[in-house]
């Protein structure tokens, strides 16, 4: 495959017609749970409480970043004068407290995951820390639906790098170009596309993806209720 973040070379262009999908990978934040506003609130409160600044667009800059990447961003760019590992630990702890009463599941999330899992092995490729991924899936009753769950903190590079999606595919034992990814954000869409996967976009109103990246998705649906077998794999239409 290519070393840049372009589409994997084995497809030699856009996701090819007639391919059969062998696995499906879901993003978590913004796809299954409406947690992006909570992440923004927690980080903003933390930054301002520690003498930092919160410029417009800071929340979007961090979408898709791995834990230590956004912690470094809070330190280097937003002025939080604490060690990076301490920033990460404290913000994640605050986030865990906020979602302790249960994850803010998006409409159709549980049904879509269970429906999709009846046909394909599922992976989860998230920028959330592993601890929050596990808590969220257990609380939602979805942990057993996923054969593989992976945080970007475990692969080093966050989205838009394709690393997390490539590793999910590897652990599922499938080729990336025979996998579909369900994503919502600009960086998530870029990551899945760079991995060579079929990209299904579920854009949100609160954090809509860049129009140019949305236009490159292989399918765009307005809600998870529309995530049918034929959307995942057009050969089933």
Q: What digits encode the pLDDT tens for the residues 102-125?
A: 788 999 999 999 999 999 999 999
Q: Does the pLDDT at position 17 exceed 70?
A: no
Tell me the catalytic residues.
27, 29
Count CA atoms within 13 Å of residue 230 on its CB side.
2
Pairing of β 179-183 and β 219-220: unpaired
Q: Where are the domains of the chain?
A: 9-34+105-236, 36-98
Tens digits of residue pLDDT in 35-59: 888 889 999 999 999 999 999 999 9
Asked: is 9-34+105-236 a CATH 3.40.50.1000 domain? The reply is: yes
pLDDT digits (tens, 9 = 90+) for 66-93: 889 999 999 999 999 999 999 999 999 9
Cα separation, 231 vs 237, whole angstroms: 8
Residue 234 exposure: Cα atoms within 13 Å on the Cβ side: 10
Model pLDDT, residue 37: 86
């Amino acid at each position: 495959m290519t070393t840049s973040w372009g589409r994997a070379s084995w497809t030699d262009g856009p996701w090819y017609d007639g391919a059969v999908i062998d696995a499906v990978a879901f993003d978590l934040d913004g796809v299954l749970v409406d947690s992006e506003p909570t992440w923004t609130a927690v980080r903003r409160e933390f930054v301002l409480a520690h003498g930092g600044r919160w410029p417009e667009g800071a929340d979007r800059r961090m979408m898709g970043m791995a834990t230590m990447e956004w912690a470094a961003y809070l330190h280097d760019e937003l002025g939080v004068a604490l060690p990076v590992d301490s920033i990460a630990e404290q913000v994640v702890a605050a986030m865990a407290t906020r979602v302790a009463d249960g994850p803010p599941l998006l409409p159709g999330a549980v049904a879509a995951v269970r429906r999709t899992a009846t046909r394909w092995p599922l992976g989860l490729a998230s920028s959330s820390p592993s601890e929050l991924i596990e808590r969220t899936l257990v609380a939602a009753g979805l942990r057993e639906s996923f054969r593989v769950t992976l945080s970007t903190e475990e692969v080093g590079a966050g989205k838009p790098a394709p690393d997390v999606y490539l590793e999910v595919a590897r652990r599922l034992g499938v080729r990336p170009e025979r996998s579909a990814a369900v994503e919502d954000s600009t960086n998530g869409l870029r990551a899945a596309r760079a991995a060579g996967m079929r990209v299904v976009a579920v854009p949100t109103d609160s954090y809509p993806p860049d129009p140019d990246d949305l236009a490159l998705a292989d399918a765009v649906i307005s809600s998870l209720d529309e995530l049918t077998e034929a959307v995942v794999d057009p050969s089933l239409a």
